[in-house]
Each structure stands twice: as C-alpha cells, then as structure tokens.
Structure 1
Amino acid sequence: MRNYSIALIPGDGIGVDVIREGKKVIDTVCELDGGVSIQYQKFNWSCEYYLKHGTMMPEDGLEILKNFDSIYLGAVGYPGVPDHISLWGLLLPIRRQFQQYINIRPVKLLRGIQSPLANRGVEDLDFIVIRENNEGEYSSIGGRMYEGTNMDMAIQNSVFTKHGVERVLRYAFELANKQGKRKQLTAATKSNGINHTMPFWDEYVCKINKEYPEVSTDIVHIDALCAYFVTRPDTFDVVVASNLFGDILTDLGAAIVGGLGIAPSANINPEKKFPSMFEPVHGSAPDIAGKGIANPTAAIWCASMMLEHLGETKLARAIMVVLEDVLAEGAVVTPDLGGKATTEEFGDEVCKRLKERYK
C-alpha cells in the first residue's frame, strides 16, 4: 500500500466548494485502484480565520505543514480583508519557505471547452508555462518613505539571482527535452526596456541552453509573446518566464483555453524536500460561494496534477480522461459551461465515470 498525507486548506468562498469535489474524486480513484491510501488533515486557515485571529495561519503554520506530502489549496480572499494580507499571510510564505520555486501552469484546451480564439481546437492549444515562483519582480525588498507628504514615494526592487534563475531555467529545459512535443523552449524577456535584470536573465537562458543543445530556444519580448499567445498559440511547447511575466502569461494562457475558472496550477519543490502545493487559479468568488454553481474542473485537474507529482501517474491520467469525457459530452456540466448541473453533481458524475472505467 502506497501511503500519502495531504494537507487540505479549502480557504474562502468557492474554494470550500471545489476542494470538496476534488477530494471526492481523489478518494474515488484511490479506492478503485486499491493500492493507494491517503490521510488528510483539514486546516481552516482563511480570511475568516484572519478576522478572528488577526493572522491567516498560526505562527507555527509552516512547521505544521512541512511534513505533509502535498498541500491542496482552494482559494483565499474575502471582502474586508485586503488582498495583500491574504496573499502575503498564507500563499506566499508557503511558496517561499517550502522552496516551491517552480510554478506549472498547463495551457491546454480540454475536450468540451470552447476557446474564445476563433477556429482553434484542442490540437492548437497544448503547451506548458513554467513561472519562476520565489524571486524576480515579486521580491519583498523596497519600502515607502514620506507617506502623506508631497515627497511620498515607493520603491520595489526586483531580485534575480544566479541560483534562482539557473534552477528554473534548468527545470524548463529539462521539461522541454524530455516531455516537449517539439523539444522547444521559449523564454520571456524585456531586455530592451529593463536593462539590468532582463539581460541577466537572457544571459543565463543562453548559458543553460548549451547544456541542452537538442532543445530549440527562442528569447521573445513579453509584449510580443502576449500577442503570439493569441495569434499563434500552436507554435509553443514549453514557455519559461520570470515571476511577473509568468503571472501575466499564465492568466492570458488560461483565458485562451476557457478562462481562469478551469485553470489549475502547481507550486513545486522539485527536490521534494518540502511539500508541493496544488491550487486552482480562480479566486474565491464569494458572491457565488455555497450556491452550488461553481465549476470544480480546475480543482479536479489540480488533483490529477498532485497525484502525478506523487508518482501516481496511472491515477492522474485516469482522472483527466474521465474529466474530459464529462466535459465533452456536456450533459452534466455547470452553468458557466451552458449546463444546469451543480458543483456536487459535476463531481459525482466524474466519480461515476471513474467507477465505470475501472470495471
């Protein structure tokens, strides 16, 4: 029996709704396989927790989490709690303290989902964006001076280190080399306008490329790259970007394959020294929380990615096949996809199809 421990952090709003369905799918596929046992521990760390305790998680929260195999996170955010508090109080400390320096965002059009791009199908939209997840433009170095005066000012420093840049680039090159359809890597830059960090980034792209001569490599300015995501998405294989540029590209990537509501993400510590974290990228959407209309596709997709990371490739792939079957048939889908199914009914349908598949 293969045993895993997972920390459940449903968070706020629809995070609670969709993580419930994702867990249900995990439990179903593991039970059907018979060789996997998962122990969960649920944590109510959220904006509601913050309003009661003045912090997004306990002081020893990271110490509590560090021994789990994975973290399954819903969404955080709620009116009355500023976004910088919810983000810097929970999500970013987990990403950084656990060295989850790789953010994986598949840009893949699932069967049954229609892209907003005209005449684009599943064969055109299938690539991966690797985002540097720990430093870059989102470094917490800088500050404010002279607040409330005519000299009010803010400074935010970007931090690009040899260590940080090399490890994300090497991961992306390795992925392109081993799993890429074309063995092609595209690196985002803006070295014509940002004259220190971006040439530094480009220099290391070229340096690491020498270790992978079989990988075709392009360095493309971020503004042009955004345009290419729309005009020629079928030309990409693996895209790698710094923290800010990766954030922008992945949201654009989600938009062209159906929207943030169905997009998954993985925050990976490749060495597995610390747990990795898997989360849908949609927000907490408190206006529809508890109404049973949230689409759990992203959470279920994240569940598949989590099992893949744990080495349960067979189970991960089974989830994705069944998920796409349900979406493609369109009979039991949520209102955002033109259906009438509830969040729970969608999850139940995926579980039902998994049971049929394993007969």
Structure 2
Amino acid sequence: MEYKIAVIPGDGIGVEVINEGVKLLKLISKLYEDIDFRFDFFDYGCDYYLKYKRMMEEDGLEKLSKSDAIYLGAVGNNTVSDDISLRGLLLKIRQEFDQYVNLRPIKLLKGAETIIKGKSKDDIDMIFIRENSEGEYIGTGSHMFKNSPRELVIQDNVFTRYGCERIIRYAFEVAKQNKKSLTSISKANALNYSMVFWDSIFNEIKAEYPEVETHSLLVDAATMVMVNEPEKLEVVVSSNLFGDILTDLGAAIAGGIGLAAGANINPEKRYPSMFEPIHGSAPNIAGKGIANPVAAIWSVSQMMDFFGREDIGLDILNAIEKLLVEKKCLPTDLGGSKSTTAVGDEICRNLTEIVENKIK
C-alpha cells in the first residue's frame, strides 16, 4: 500500500526534526512489506508569509487534500505574530479538514525520566482526547473602539451539540476498546453556559456505555491530579483550550516537550489527518543541529497507527525506548550531547535491529 504524505517542515527546528522523520519513513518502506510512501514537500510557514503575505498558497488546502496524511514540523518565528502564523496554517488545516480529534499520548516511556518523585511508567500512561475544531479556538469575536477609553474585546467560545457529542463519543469508544476509565474535564462552576452544556452531553452519552468507568474533574483540580496522582487518569476528554494546556503539563511530567507527539485526526477519513511534534519552532536553537527529533518520530508512530499498521507504530516506540534506556545517543535536552541527525540515525538503527530480530 502506498501512502501520499504531504510534508510541511515549517519553521525553525521543524525543518531539522522533520528531516529525521522522513528518513525513518523511507526506512520503513524498506523494512516492511506492503507499505510505501510518496512525499510532496510544501514550503508553507513564516518564511512563505514574509514573501507572499499569506502562510500558504491560495489553493494550498486543495493541494494538501490530495494526500493521505500531513506531516508538520513547527509553525512560528520572531517576525510573524502568533495569531497570523497559527491561524493561517496550523489552525486553518485543523478546522478546514475537520480534524476534530486531537490525540496526545501522555506516556512515560521506558528510560525517560519524570519530574514527579516516586512515579513510574506504570503510573503515567494517559490518552488525552481534545476537541480540536471548535470551542475556545473557533476564532470569532470582535474588537471595538480600538485605542480609546471605550475599547472592548469579545472572544467567542462556540460549543455545538454536534461537536461535543462526536468528540465525547469518540473518547468513550477509545476507553471501551482499551478497557480504560474515561475522565471528562470541565469548569462548569465558572463557565455556566459552555461547560454546563459539555457536562450535560457527557452525562447523556455515558448512559450508552455502562461498561466504562467515568469521572469528571474541574480543570484546576485536574492539574493537581496529573502531578500528584497521574495513575488515576487513563483516557481523558476535554475542550480545545483545556486540552491544550493540560497536555503541555503532561509533556512536562512525561519526560519533556521534546518527547511529546500529537495527531490531528479526521476519523472518517474524508480529509487527511495531520501528525506533528507538539513543540514549537524554537528559533533560539534553530540551525544549530541540536533539536530533539524524538517527538517528530513518535508522531510517525501515530501515523502508522492511523494507517492500521499498529505493529510498525509499536516497533517505532520500542526503537525510541531503546535509545532512552541505553542513553548513549541522547540529544542535549535529555542530558546528552548528540546532534539531531545522530539521534535520528540511532533510532533508525534500533528499528532495523528490531525488525531483523523478528525475522530471525
């Protein structure tokens, strides 16, 4: 099976880490039967904006729609404001391609270190399912009477029954399939419309899944549970904003942002899904060859899962864990001194060894 991958390296270290992911994808096509990849590269990002005053081509979405998956590096630099760069590329793709599921594993890999004392990989193993297409990031509102004493800003949050039902039901299905509990994140005590609405839909749908153990946490309480008792969280479902914040906290407790991957999924496959490391473009270290490529490579594992090749996805995670356990080829942010390319090469060697051992 050949898959067409649209590659958007983006900005800063995105270019460096995506190179390692593409290298791994090319290796996968050699190591495994019945899977191959064709790549289309797009130079969308902040440099593109500085030239053309837009983050992508006018028909960029149409071109990207012809792919089976999008592989994104990072978005942002110091010269283009974040609201332009994110809304012009990352959020535009997520919303226009109805990638309403943001899937982020908060999993302490073997060999990684957590900042939480007394907790092990058995304690930190969560799947965060974040609503990715509406909620707090819908991008509507108004700014009136600018630069006057009457200046007024209104930021809308948009929660639809359709959007809430489908993300919550998706989370229940994941919990059911994995025989895990499901925790909903809310703030209904303060957000008396949106989060009361969210909670009511969660309670409606949980009646359809009596076999799934459920919990509901206020978002501020959830931060304490993640740090003090992470083992209590297995599958978590949240709105766009809360999921964004909590998964960054999750990255911190699961070894750091350099190990954090994310998938933006359109489950019905009407549009391509997008896979990315969740770190930023890190312009302060861009071009130095020291960026950690592990998150970008983990997102390749998520891509393989999405293509129905969970066997390859697991092999990639095992190759990453071998790197972390042996500690002979770690990037600088994990206490090592190896370059981005060296770390990528080592993971490729590990994956080759894993596949060859299977054959034996």
Q: Same fold (TM over 0.5)?
A: yes
CA RMSD of aligned residues (A): 0.9
Kindly, what percent of the aligned residue pairs are identical?
50
- Residue type of the alignment partner of 2:226: F
Cα shift at 1:314: 1.5
Which amino acid counterpart does residue 99 of structure 1 have in structure 2?
Answer: D
For each residue in 1:111-168, what CA deviation from the matched residue of structure 2 results, as whole angstroms up to 9, or x when unmatched? Answer: 1211011111111100111100011111222110100110001001111100000000
Q: What is the one-letter code of the residue matched to 1:58?
A: E
Distance (Å, rounded) in 2 between the aligned partners of 1:358 and 1:320: 13
Q: Does 1:142 align with 2:141?
A: yes
Instruction: Report matched runs for 1:92-241 at 5 Å.
Output: 92-180=91-179, 183-241=180-238
What does residue range 306-345 of structure 1 map to in structure 2 within 5 Å?
306-345=303-342
TM-aligned CA deviation for residue 352 of structure 1: 1.1
**Residue 29 of structure 1: how far off its partner (Å):** 2.0
Which structure 2 residues correspond to residues 288-303 of structure 1 after superposition, within 5 A?
288-303=285-300
Name the counterpart of 1:69.
68
* Counterpart residue identity of residue 3, structure 1: E
Does structure 2 conserve the Cα–Cα contact (< 8 Å) formed by 1:305 and 1:316?
Answer: yes
Q: Is the deviation greater in 16-25 or in 254-263?
A: 254-263
The amino acid across from 2:23 in the alignment is K
Q: Which AA in structure 1 matches 2:129?
A: I
Give, in angstroms, the shift of residue 358 of structure 1: 2.2
How many residue pairs end up in the alignment?
A: 356
Deviation at 1:35, TM superposition (A): 1.9
Deviations 1:320-339 (A, max 9, x none): 11111111110011111111
Cα separation, 2, equivalents of 1:161 and 1:336:
41
Tell me the distance in 2 between the aligned counterparts of 1:307 and 1:4.
11
Amino acid at match of 2:148: T
Q: Relative CO higher for 1 or 2, CA cutoff 8 Å, sep ≥ 6?
A: 1
Query: For 1:175 and 1:356, how far apart are their aligned partners in 2?
Result: 31
After superposing on structure 2, the runs of 4+ consecutive aligned residues of structure 1 that deviate more than 3 Å are none
TM-score by structure 2 length? Answer: 0.97
**SS of residue matched to 2:154:** strand
What secondary structure, in the 3-state scheme, does the structure 1 residue paired with 2:77 have?
A: coil
C-alpha separation in 1, matches of 2:251 and 2:43: 28
Gaps of 5+ in 1: none
Residues in 2 aligned to 1:34 and 1:200: alpha-carbon distance in whole angstroms: 48
**Unaligned segments of structure 2, at least 5 residues:** none
Structure 2 match to 1:84: 83
In structure 1, what is the equivalent of residue 11 of structure 2? 12
Letter in 1 for 2:30: E
In 1: Cα distance, 2:8 partner to 2:190 partner? 40
Give the deviation of 1:34 after TM superposition. Answer: 3.0
| Post-superposition CA distance 1:250-301 (Å, at most 9, x none) | 1111111122221000000000010000010101011111211111010000
